Chain A
Amino acid sequence: METTKDDSTGIDALNDIDRLIHEPARLMIMAYLYVVDSADFLFLVRQTGLTLGNLSSHMSKLEAAGYIEVEKKFKGKKPHTMLRLTGEGHDAFRKYRQSMKQVIGETSEAAQ
């Protein structure tokens, strides 16, 4: 995105925030998958408090972006889906944290 030439306020850095991750539900999902190796739908539902439908919809978006990989397995005759962050997902989350630290962490309150 185009930024103004004089960015002394730092506000233009907000344009670099990954909007896909920035949505609270997806941020929660990304954070959980960042700290564990892999998890199934039920575990993420229990941890995040999202409904299965809601979780599934966010998962589809994250999977489409290449941030999450879905591994389908069979436990006996039952299908079982495990989810994990891809390398790209790890990088994106790391970059998101860095950007947020830069933008929010250094907020000046002088104008209040």
Chain B
Amino acid sequence: MTYTLDLKQLERKAWKSVHQDGLLDIFCGLVLLQVGVSLWIQHGAGYWTLVFGIAFNLLAVAGLIAGKKLITVPRMGRVEFGQIRKAKSLKLTILLSLAVLLGMALIMLSLTDVVQLPGWAVPAALIAANMLFVFGMLGYFLDYPRLYIYGLLYAAAFPSWVVLIELADIRFPVVSVLSAAVMVLLGCKGLFQFTSRYPVPSTEAAANGNH
């Protein structure tokens, strides 16, 4: 058996250790839940659906940031990654911003009836492609393969809702809510394991060692 000190894997291990807290899974689940609820209440709600969506997502982002600050950092410690990770994060931010802007533009256009998209198949395919792109990027840049599966679940949310209405007149977004529940549960499990494995050390010791 050979043992080699693989620095790339070591950096990856350090990176992953910061993201094993389950918070991202809970965040993804809550956002998908919002998508499901928005689909459910959108009839007659118009712009309020959009306002609800934006407000909920902003709260979810604030919750994720607060969770990292109050749960992850006090337990795992603080680390600054090198230039390669910083460049990756910048690329991810740019790509995600473009995808979110595109998605928002699509929703706005569909709400204002500026663009009449034929049937439901084209918008569903566009939204699904956008979701696959966003989660594909997230999974790749964050080194978090589970996000590829989440991307599929997000991509299936809108088409499955429409199909269920067309075929069985079921308006409740079953697929989105069930997928969201799975993500939140996986996240809670991860969070529980993380907090059990890494209790908060005494503040002074954690901050300074005995240095």
A39 in contact with B77 (CB, 8 Å):
yes
Which residue of chain B has its CB nearest to the CB of A63? B211
Q: Is the CB of A38 within 8 A of B80?
A: yes
Digit string of A23-51 for contact with B (CB within 8 Å is 1, else 0)?
A: 00001000110111111111111110000
A-B contact count (CB 8 A): 90
B14 within 8 A of A: yes
* B79 pairs with A52, CB closer than 8 A: no
A80 touches B76 (CB 8 A): no
B1-27 contacts to A (CB < 8 Å) = 5, 7, 10-11, 13-14, 17
Q: Mark A90-110, 1 if CB is under 8 A from B, else 0.
A: 000000010000000000000
Q: Closest approach, in angstroms, between the C-beta of A110 and any C-beta of chain B?
A: 18
| A38 in contact with B77 given A31-B5, A46-B198, A78-B203 (CB within 8 Å) | no
A56 to B90, CA, bound (A): 34
Contacts of A43 in B (CB 8 A): 14, 76-79
Pick from A37, A42, A55: contact of B80, CB under 8 Å:
A37
Asked if A80 meets B78 with Cβ closer than 8 Å, knowing A36-B11, A36-B14, A47-B17, the reply is yes
B205 at the interface (CB under 8 A from A): yes
Tell me, rounded to whole Å, the shortest Cβ–Cβ distance linking B2 to chain A: 10
Number of chain A residues close to chain B: CB under 8 A? 30
Residues of A within 8 A of B13 (CB): 47
Known: A39-B80, A70-B211, A81-B208. A31 touches B7 (CB 8 A): yes
Interface residue ranges of B166-211 to A (CB < 8 Å): 198, 201, 203, 205-211
Give the interface size bracket for B toward A: 20 to 34
Contacts of B14 in A (CB 8 A): 32, 35-36, 43, 47
Contact B76 A42, beta carbon cutoff 8 Å: yes
Whether the Cβ atoms of B207 and A80 lie closer than 8 Å is: yes
A59 near B209 with CB under 8 A, answer yes
A26 to B207, CA, bound (A): 20
A55 and B77 in contact, given A36-B82, A46-B198, A47-B14 (Cβ under 8 angstroms): no
Min distance, Cβ B48 to any Cβ of chain A, angstroms: 39
Q: Check A79 against B10 for contact (C-beta < 8 Å).
A: no
A81 CB contacts on chain B under 8 angstroms:
207-209, 211
Chain A residues with a Cβ under 8 A of chain B: 27, 31-32, 34-47, 52-53, 55-56, 59-60, 70, 78-82, 97
